[in-house]
Amino acid sequence: MKAKLDNPDFLIIGAAKCATTTLSNLLNAHPQACMVQGKEPHFFSTDNYYAGWERYQTLYRHCGDCLATGDASTSYSRIRYHPETITRIVDHIPSAKIIYMVRHPLKRMESACLEHLATPGNPLRFKSVDEALKKQPMIIDSSRYWEVYDRYRRSFPEDNIRIIWFEEFIKDPHQVFSEICDFLGIDKDIKVNIEGINKNSRQDAIRRIKSLGNQNAINLSWSAETKSWVLDLIREDNLTFLKYFDKPSDYWGELY
């Protein structure tokens, strides 16, 4: 059993394109919190793990005596693709607090498609959501919210896991951020400039796509066939998730 160290003590595990970057920036702006150096180290989920725990700890040397230190890596929720992630987290930080952000599953997929195109060096190229989802099933799997939550709750107390609903965060970021501060044990009354935090928005992704020389806009409309296929894949999972958290089946509109 490895010795427990204190960095990090909370993880923002995803899902991708659910405002994880915005939340990470907000917490980094709070004087009692500190985020890992660099964006998304993916330590627990990838071969970065083999660089060693001690090296990972150096990514927190700027944090000093902050009350809460965190790592925001969306790959920690891609458990189908990184099955050792949760075991590694438990091994090093068994008392970690977990923040899992979720969003309307189809809108999340649309934003994920844009992000793939906006990422330099990404070999995947597609002209529509339909094409993207066939080429990259991970985009679909990242909306299997119950599957991810259920796996984490088997290893961590449910009191240590906080679900953040994207729609509620966008509607009232001050209230939701206050609740997150409470969850992490930092002062919710300290003011953070929420409006001043850069957001990783859809418009920003489109700007980055154009900067890479791809002037053709991706078609974000869904064919009826693809939409039906995707909803069949995630329906049971999403409905279980919504019911567990006392959300109505139409929380994300008339999907189910």
What is the rounded average pLDDT of the residues 127-144? 90
Distance of alpha carbon 90 from alpha carbon 155, whole angstroms: 7
What pTM was computed for the model?
0.90
The predicted pLDDT at position 201 comes to 64
Q: Contact at 8 Å (CB) between 42 and 89?
A: no
SS3 66: coil
What is the rounded average pLDDT of the residues 9-14? 97
The model's pLDDT over 214-223, given as tens digits with 9 standing for 90+, comes to 545 667 789 9
The predicted pLDDT at position 82 comes to 98
The predicted pLDDT at position 206 comes to 54
Token output for 220: 């974000």
The model's pLDDT over 12-59, given as tens digits with 9 standing for 90+, comes to 999 999 999 999 999 999 999 999 998 899 999 999 999 999 999 999
Domains and CATH numbers, the chain: 10-105+143-196+236-244 (3.40.50.300)
- Sign of the dihedral through C-alpha 7, 19, 33, 36: positive
Token output for 115: 């992000």
What is the rounded average pLDDT of the residues 225-240? 97
| Residue 109 exposure: Cα atoms within 13 Å on the Cβ side | 29
DSSP per position, 119-130: STT-----SBHH
